[in-house]
Structure formats: structure tokens, C-alpha cells
Structure 1
């Protein structure tokens, strides 16, 4: 099993032959089967699949949180000193710590004194550094979570439904920050989302997953520049995907 887009310069190569859950007193559940893909330097790839397809399981494996599977992840997240930066659906901030403390606590101890002025300025967090998370809107808390993920200068940023529950303006602002950060720092992004329109707006490639057990149905490149992706093009792209992959993309 070779990963789609595999190559020596891949930031991440995923090749999961099989992942099976063995819950007590019920039949085993095969969550992933023959799932292979690679993330290239500097690209934004979006992982899309129906609910329950195995996206969360895949994330847990590639982050090193689940080692009970057949296959390989390169680089091995359990052996890497500088693994992916992770932004979860919820910000997961410590409410009794300030914004800056939340960001620095995620850094290796020897690096916690490094200068983060540029990072906070870029994400619009400078005025909030000494505030506690409870004083921030959900959109601003998501920015803090993004700062925490970026503080270690990862080559790969992993986003799990990062814009869910935000209003349109806050979601658009955060999406713009992510894209600008990727372009500025030259990092790669793997984003899991149920929002097809969102994926079409920001991704360089769509990775479409089958219903469980998750496997790769198709890799869809989006070659039009992001600045030229107007509403008509996005709607036409989604309709075409729904026609070609009805089990993955809803009408």
C-alpha cells in the first residue's frame, strides 16, 4: 500500500492497513482499511468523509494517540521531537492561566522563554496576552489555540473542525489567518471538516473518505487560486463532487 502523493519530501505519509476496535461483548468494528495519503510541503489538504467514517480515528493514529493499528506513519509521531501542531474542535484552554501562559505551557520547557511577540501580533492577540480565556469570545479562544499549535514551529498543522460553531464573520477571519500563516511560514495543513464549502474555499487538495471502514475514495486537486474562487465556481465544484461521489458529498 503506497500513499497517494508519496515522495521523499512529504511532510506526512499515512499508510494505515487496518484499524479494528474490539469493544466488550459486541462484534469487532473495523474503522479504517487501506487508507493511504501523503501531505506535501506548503499545501492545505482537507480530509472529508461522512459522519462516523473514521476521521477521528485517523487523526488519533497520526498524532500518536492510538498505536493499536496495522500500518505506518512517517514520521512516527511517537518518536518525533517536533510533531504536528494540533488545533482541536474545542480550544481546550486552561481557564486559570492567561492567554500567554496557555501558549507557553505547550512548548518544551527549554523554549518557553523565547520571543513570541511576532506570533501574537500576527494572530491579533497582543492586547489579550494577560487576559484569561473566559474574557475572550470563542473566535478569539480559537486564535489562542492556533497560537499554541504554532508556537513550536511545526512543519505540519493539523486542524480538527477548527471553525465549527463560529459565526460566518469569525469563521472567515480565522480561515484567512490560517491561510495567511501557511503562506507566510511555508508550513503544511491537514484539516478535517464536514463543511464542504469551507474545504473548497481553502484547500489545495480534497481527500475524500468512504463510509466506515475509512479508505481513500479520491484525491481531488483544486487548482484555481484561492483568491479567484468565487461563489459560482464553489457551488459548481460542490455539485460536481456530489454527482461524482454521492456517498461522500451530500447534495
Structure 2
């Protein structure tokens, strides 16, 4: 492959989503259109935040791009089963009768369950907790375990659904830093669903703004200023500008 060809492959989206229409109860007396003409892509080593009003169709969109809901008109490329996607849900979903280490290793294919995970546990500050059970963990630590479980699969794409909700500021900041470090170190692409606009402005490379239901693309907003240069004044000004430009999506 030529250098130009290799560069084009490197710059190609790692995932492209094009949902022309998703309807619940199609053919029934009260069909509900959840998504309409929504298209976006994910790029390598970027953090993309998906933002929209409650009930807009964010969860439906996630189910489609994860391959959990094939009943829609459109496409996801590559097929979700081949895209290398790992998911972190709002709730940690840990097995209470398994240790932290066992919960992480159970996500791996059986032949890989003996793999060395020392570096992964150390990067998430979980080394002292490997033998503990979920009942001994705070919510913040449990969410670290859920993140470790997803990262153990060495994904190309990490999908996060409100991953920091209900955490105190310190715990949320620590997890955000881990996500950013993972992107920068491993080149993972992140799609994060959040209602926290300030959080998105802090860490995202791009914002995808959704309309009220049925979800459609309101805007794609790049955040070109490097993360390390984003201070409080810049973040506040960015949010005010978004609230003016997209009042149906971003609250003032």
C-alpha cells in the first residue's frame, strides 16, 4: 500500500452510523418514531460525546450501533460484531459473588482469561482491590472495575453510557482522566452519552447534538482547543454559545 493509501486508511472512520428511520410498534395503532435521518461517524483516537434531551433516542441509537437492535432502516459500518466495541453501562453490573479480578476476567474469551492484566489494574488504581468483592467497593471504584472489564477486551471503540453520573466531583474527574489517558495511549475511539454538557466540553473532541424525538442530527460541533488548554472561562463561554445556537438541545 502506498503512503497516501495508508494515510487514507488511518484517517477513515472506525465506525459510521446512518439510521434513516427507527420506529417502535410499526404497523400498530400508535407507532413511535424514535430516530429519523441520524448519521455520524467515529474517528480513531477521538472522544465524541452524544448529547440530546431526555427521551430523544440516545439509548435507541446506542442499541443499534452495538448491534442489539437490527430492526431499523439504515446501516452501521463495519458490522458491530466486527467493529471491536466494548460497552460501559450506567450501572457497573458486577457479579457480587465474584471478586474484582474475576469480574474482569469473565468478560474475556475463555482462552485469554489467564492473560497478564497487571498493567490494566495498575492503570485504574485497582491493584489493591483485585481480591475484593463488589460489596466492598464505592460506586466510583465499581465503575472503575466496569471500565477495566471493557478495556480488558482491548477494544477499538469504547462506548460509555452516562459513565460518571452520581459520582462526586473527585471520583468523576479521576475517571475522566483515565478515559482521556486511554485514548491518548492506546488510540481507542470513545463515544460517550452524557447529559452533563460541562463534562463533554471538558474532554470531547467533538459533540454530536441530537434533536428531541425523533432523534436527528442537530449539529456536529468540533472542539478544536486542546484539552490541556481548556480553562473554566473558555468552557463557560463555549457552553453559553452552544445554548444560544442550539436552545432545544443545550440548556442555558
TM-score interval, normalised by the smaller of the two chains: over 0.9
Is residue 35 from structure 1 mapped to residue 38 from structure 2 by the alignment?
yes
Q: What are the residue-to-residue correspondences of 1:17-166 with 2, within 5 Å?
A: 17-22=20-25, 26-78=29-81, 80=82, 83-166=84-167
The range that moved more, 154-163 or 178-187, is 178-187
Shift of 1:83: 2.8
Distance 1:168 1:26 in 2: 46
Shift of 1:136: 0.7
SS of 1:152's partner is coil
Distance 1:172 1:110 in 2: 35
Show CA shifts across 1:66-96 (max 9, x none). 1110111111124x2x631110001000000
Q: Runs (4+) of structure 1 moved beyond 3 Å?
A: 23-26
Which of the numbers 9, 28, 40 marks the counterpart of 2:12? Answer: 9
Shift of 1:102: 0.5
Distance 2:119 2:153 in 1: 13
Distance 2:84 2:231 in 1: 35
Show CA shifts across 1:185-240 (max 9, x none). 11110000000000000000000001111111111000111111111110100000
CA contact (8 A) 2:120 2:152 kept: yes
CA contact (8 A) 2:19 2:36 kept: yes
RMSD: 1.6
CA contact (8 A) 2:22 2:33 kept: yes
Q: Structure 1: where are the runs of 5+ without partners?
A: 1-6
Distance 2:102 2:214 in 1: 40
TM-score (norm 1): 0.94
Distance 2:111 2:12 in 1: 29
SS of 2:240's partner is helix
Distance 2:26 2:17 in 1: 25
SS of 1:219's partner is strand
2:4 corresponds to: none
Distance 2:234 2:226 in 1: 12
Shift of 1:25: 6.7
CA contact (8 A) 2:11 2:43 kept: no
Distance 2:173 2:27 in 1: 43
Structure with greater helix percent: 2
SS of 1:13's partner is strand
1:231 corresponds to: 232
